[in-house]
A and B are shown apart, each in its own frame.
Chain A
Amino acid sequence: MKTRRNRKNLNLNPTGDPWSPWLHVDIALVLSSIALAIIGAFMVYSATRGNDPDSYDRAYLNRQLLFLVAGVVAMATAAYFPYRRIRDWVPAVFWGGMFLLLLVLTPLGVERNGTKAWFEFGSFQLQPSELCKIAYIFMLANYLERFNGRLDARQLGNGLLLGIIPIGLILLETDVGTALVFIAITMGMLLVAGAQTRHIFVLTVVGVILSALVWSSGVLQDYQQDRLTSFIDPASSQTEAAYQQTQAQIAIGSGGLTGQGFGQGQQTRGEFVPEQHTDFIFSVIGEEFGFVGSVIVLALFAIVMWRCMRTARKSPDLLGTLICCGVLTLFAFQMFQSVGMTLGIMPITGIPIPFVSYGGSSAVSCFVGVGLVLNIHMRRYQVV
C-alpha cells in the first residue's frame, strides 16, 4: 500500500496523507476516558467541598482538574512516539521504576493507612507503584512478544520472575490491592501471550495454595485480614472496614434509581464514608446519580475496555496486542475490584477507580495507558 511508505512521517500536519497516525486517533477512547475523568473530578468536588454554601472548598477539584490536564498531556505524549521506538527505553524506565519502589520503602517514603507507598513533595504525593503499572505492562509485553504467541514452561517462568520483582516490592509496602492489580495484569498478558492451558491451571492452583499459606502465616495484620473478609457479613463486624462498607452501601442504596442529585447526597455531605473522594468515590456516584448514573459510568468503562480490546485485535503486531491487553486488564480489574468493594461484593483492598478517584499518580498512569493504546491504534496500518 502506498501509505506505508510514509510510515516515518510523524508530521502533526498530515495534509494529504490519509494514513497519517493523527488521523486515526481513537476518538471514542479519548472522549470516554476524559468523560470518566471529568465526572470523577466533579464527584471529588462533591465529596470534598464541605457544607458551607458560602465558601465551598475547591482545592480538591482544582487539583483533580490539574491532574486531568496532566493526564491528557501524558496521554498525548505517550501516543506521540511510535511504540515500537519507545520499547528501547522501556527497560531503563522499568528498572528506574523498580528503583523508586525500593526507594519508597526507605525513610524517604511516606506511610498512609498502614501502607508505605508514597513520596511527598510539598502538598503533592507521588505513588510510584501506580506509574510502574504501565512500565511493567510495556516491559512484560516487550519480553513476551518474542515468543510469537506460544510460551513454554521456562518462558512462562521467566515472565513470572519479571512479575515477581514489582509484586514483591509492592507487597513489602503492604499494598495488597496494588499487588493484586499486578498479578491480574500478569495473568491477563500471559494468557494472551500464549501460556498453555495446563500451565495456567497449575499456576492457579499454586496461587490458591500460596494465598492460603500467606493468609495463615500471620504476615497480614489483623486489620488487613479484616478488610479482606468483612464484606462477607459487614453487620457482624465492628471494625472500621465493615463500617466503611456498610456506609458505602447505605449511600449507594439510598441513591435509588436516579439519585439524590449533584451535591445533595446526605451520606456524602455528612462524610459518612471514609475515603469517599478516593477509593470509595463510587459511593458518591451511586448516591447522587443513582442506578442510572452508576450504569452510565460503568458503560463509559465498557467503552474504554471495548476500544482497548478492539485495538488489541487490530494491532499490527503482538507487542501492541499485549500492551492493549495489559492496559485492558488493568482497567477491568481495578474497576471491578474498587466498584465491587464499594458495592460490598469484593473485599476492601484500597485501590482507586481508574480516571474517577482523586489522585494524580493514578490519573497520569491511566491516561498513559490510554495513550499507549491510542499509540497502537493510530499506527495500526503501519507494517512492522
Chain B
Amino acid sequence: MSVSSRYLPQSHRLRLAVLAAVAISLFVPLIARLWYLQVIKETAFVERAADNTTETIIELAPRGRILDAKGRVLVDNRASILVTIDKEEMSTVAADDLQDLFFDLATEISRSGNLTKVQEIDSAYRSNRYGPFAEVPVVQDISEELQIYLAEYSYKFPGVNTTVTTVRDYPYGSLAAHILGYVGLLSEEEMPSVALKEKTYLANDEIGKSGIELFYEDALRGTPGTKVVTVDKFNNILEVNEEIPAKAGSDVQLTIDIDLQALAEQELARGLAIAKQQPTKFEEEGVVIFNAPAGAMVVMDPRNGSIVAMASYPSFDPELFVSGISNDDFDELTDPGNYLPLLNRAIQGTYPPGSTFKPFTAYAALDTGLIGSRGILSIDDFFYDEGVFLIPSCEGGTCRFQNAGEAAYGDVDLRLALTYSSDVYFYNLAASFDILPGFDLESVQVAAKSFGYGSRTGVTLAGEGSGRIPTPASRRDAYRENPEAFLTGQWLTGDTLNTSIGQGDVLATPLQIVNAYSALVNGGTLYAPNLGQRILDPITGETQVEFAPRILKEIFLPDAFSDPILEGLAAVTTWRSEIGTEGTAYNAFKDFPHEQWPVSGKTGTSEKQVENALIADYGLFVGWGPNPDPEYVAVVVLEEAGFGGQVAAPVIRRYFESIALERVPAFLSQAEKDEIAKEQAVKSSLNPVTEMENTNEEDSSS
C-alpha cells in the first residue's frame, strides 16, 4: 500500500501538484537565460569581460640625451608633474559648474607658482585634437605640493588628474638652442609621416620639431613599451600578462664643444653690441644706423668637416617649449620685429658674402688659366688699381665700378689684391671672363659651385638654406617670374663684376662660407658638415653608430693655386707696408700671438639690397688657424653692423686669441654654478666670520 496518501484528500494532492508545477516552472526561465548568456552570447561577454579586466598600458620611453663632444649633457630629461583633464568624466559636469571649476583650478595652479589663465585651461580642454575619452594635458610642471593638494581635494576637481611625465631639461640653459632645437606635441600634419616609422607614436607624443631634436628624431626617440595587465574594479594591477619593456632612446653625441660654443655665442653677442655703439652715419643717400640686430657665427674643423660651434643671434630659451609654448611666446619668437629668434641664421640666413667671395674668383682665374700662361697676367704680375674700374665698351647698366671708398691700392698682384681686398683687380678678372674669347662667362660661378656655394652643404640639421649663385640663365628665369624686380632680364657685364666680389645676387649661408673656406685651407676636400659625432647606447654608453666625415668631393686644388691665395689671405691679418697700406684685418689682429698661432682671414663687407631703405652694411669675417694646418675655420656675419674688418674681424680675433692662449673659459651649467656657490658659502662660513660672531657674543656677555 502507499504510505503517502493516508490522510490527503484528492484536492490537496492537486494543490501540491500545482505548487510542484510552479516550482518546476521556475527552472525553465533560469536555464533558458543561462543558455542565452553563457552559450549564445558567450563571445560577446568574454569580450566585455576582457574589456573590463585587461588593460594595455603604454609605457613611455625617455628620449635620448644630447651630449657635447666631450660627453657633457646638453639636453637631459627630468620628471614633470602634469595636470590632465579626463574628458569623459568632465563631460558630466554642467557648463556653469565647469567654468567655476576651471576658475578654481586656474587659481590653485597660479597660486602655486605657474601663472595660468582660465582660458588656457578651457581651450586645452576644448581642443579637438583629443577624443571624447582622452586625458587632456592642461598644465605642465606643477609643484609636488599642488599635486598632493589636487589629490586631497579631488572631490572639488572631478576629472582633474595628475601624472608624472618626463620632459626635456636643459642644464646649460639656452646654450646652443638653435642647434639642439626643441620638441613639441605631434601635430596632425606630422601624423601621416610618423605612421611609417619603426617606433610607434601616439597622439600625445612629443616629436623633434627643429634642430638636432628633429634631425636625429629616429635615434633619440625611445621605443614605447606595452604592458597588457589584468586589473580589478579599481584598476589595481592583478597580474602582468604580457610585457614589452620600453626602450630609452639613444643618446646623440655632437661635434659641438660646450666651451667653444659658449664662447662663440658670447663673442657674437659682444661683436654686435660693439657694432651697435658706432655713431650713426649721415651720407648723401640718407642716414645709416648701425642696428647690428642679428648675426651668426660658425666654427668648423677643416680637417674633417665637423662643426665645433654654431651660434645665431638673437637666440631663444628652449625651456619655453618644455611645458608647451604659449601662443604669445611663440609669436614673439617668430616675429620679424624681434628678428626671428627661432631662425638659425648660421644655416638659414642667406647673406651676400661680399669680399669673402674673392678667393673663389681668384681660384676661377687660376683654374681657367686667366691668371697664368695663356691668360691676361701671371700670379706675380702687378695690375695697377686706381680705385675705379670702367667696363670697356660698356653696353648698358652700370659701367663705372669702384673700390670701397674709392681707395686706390696702386700696384697689386693676386696676393696683395686679396690682402687689400681690391675690388678693381677682381673686376678686371671678371670683365676678362666676360669679354675675352676662350673664357667662360660663368667661370666664377663654376668655381663657386665647386666649393659648395649655391647648394645645401648637407649639414645634419633640417631647414638649411641653399644660397644663390646667379647665372645668366637664373637671371632670365627670375626676370620672367618677377619683371618688376629687375631692370632687364639680360645678364650684363656688370653682373659678372658684381658676382666676382660676392655682391649682386650672390647669397650664401654662413655655413656655406665656412665650408668653402675649409676646403680651401685643407687642400681641396669639401665635406658635408657634421654636427652628430656618434649615437650611443643610453645605458652602456657604447657607440652604436659612428658618423664618419662625409667627403662630398675633392676639388682640384694644386698647391700652385692654393699657395698664392692662402699667402694673400695670411697677410690680411699681418701685412702692413712701409707706406702704411695694410691687410684689411691688420688692425683687428694687432698684437695677436701670430708666432704661436698663425692666423689667416678674409674680411667682407656686403650691401644687402632692401627696398626703400638704406641699411648699414653687413660685416663678415672668415678666419682660420693655426697655420699651416688649421684646426679651426670660423665665420662671423654681423647684420647692419658696418665694415667686416672693423666689426667682424675683432670677433674672430678674440675667439681665436682665447683658443691660442688656451684661455677658453669653462662654461658651467646652472647645477655646477650652484655647487661652486655652495662650496664658497661653506668656505666662507668656516672663515673668520664665525669667530667674529663668537667674539661678539663674548663681548656682549662681558
Contacts and interface: CB of A to CB of B under 8 A. Distances in A.
A313 B8 contact: yes
B16 to A, nearest CB: 6
B679 interface: no
B45 A249 contact: yes
Interface string B40-74: 01101110111011100000000000000000000
B24 to A, nearest CB: 8
B29 A340 contact: yes
A298 B232 contact: no
Interface of B: 3-9, 11-13, 15-16, 18-20, 22-24, 26-27, 29-31, 33-35, 37-39, 41-42, 44-46, 48-50, 52-54, 230-234, 238-239
A270 B233 contact: yes
A316 B7 contact: yes
Given A249-B37, A252-B37, A336 B238 contact: no
A271 B235 CA distance: 10
A250 interface: yes
Interface stretch (A54-62, A209-217, A220-228, A253-261): A253-261
Interface in A313-349: 313-314, 316-318, 321, 325, 328-329, 332, 335-336, 339-340, 343-345
Interface in A192-233: 192, 194
B52 A380 contact: no
Nearest to A255: B38
Contacts of A192: 12, 15-16, 19
A97 interface: no
A253 B50 contact: no
Contacts of A325: 16, 19
Contacts, number: 148
Interface string A285-309: 0100011001100100010010001
Given A188-B19, A291-B34, A257 B39 contact: yes
Contacts of B27: 298, 302
8 contacts: A254-B50, A256-B39, A272-B233, A294-B34, A302-B27, A309-B16, A314-B3, A344-B37
Given A149-B11, A312-B16, A328-B19, A286 B38 contact: yes
B49 A316 contact: no
Interface string A10-52: 0000000000000000000000000000000000000000010
Contacts of B19: 188, 191-192, 309, 325, 328-329
B34 A252 contact: yes
A332 B29 CA distance: 13
Nearest to A273: B233
A266 B34 contact: no
Contacts of B49: 250-251, 253-254, 266-267
B26 A313 contact: no
A253 B53 contact: no
Determine the main DSSP class of B at the interface with A.
helix
Interface in A359-375: none
B53 A339 contact: no
Contact of A339 (B3, B22, B30): B30
A340 B30 contact: yes
B52 A267 contact: yes
B505 to A, nearest CB: 71
A256 B53 contact: no
Given A270-B232, A309-B20, A345-B33, A253 B42 contact: yes
Which 10 A-B residue pairings sit nearest by Cβ, starting from the closest?
A253-B45, A270-B232, A254-B49, A314-B4, A266-B53, A291-B38, A336-B26, A253-B37, A256-B42, A254-B45
Contacts of B23: 305, 309, 328-329, 332
B48 A254 contact: yes
A253 B46 contact: yes
A269 interface: yes
A339 B16 CA distance: 24
A335 B6 CA distance: 31
Given A309-B16, A340-B33, 18 more contacts: A191-B15, A192-B12, A192-B19, A194-B15, A253-B41, A254-B45, A255-B42, A256-B38, A269-B53, A270-B231, A271-B234, A295-B31, A295-B34, A298-B34, A313-B4, A318-B8, A329-B19, A381-B3
Contacts of B231: 270
Interface in A118-153: 149
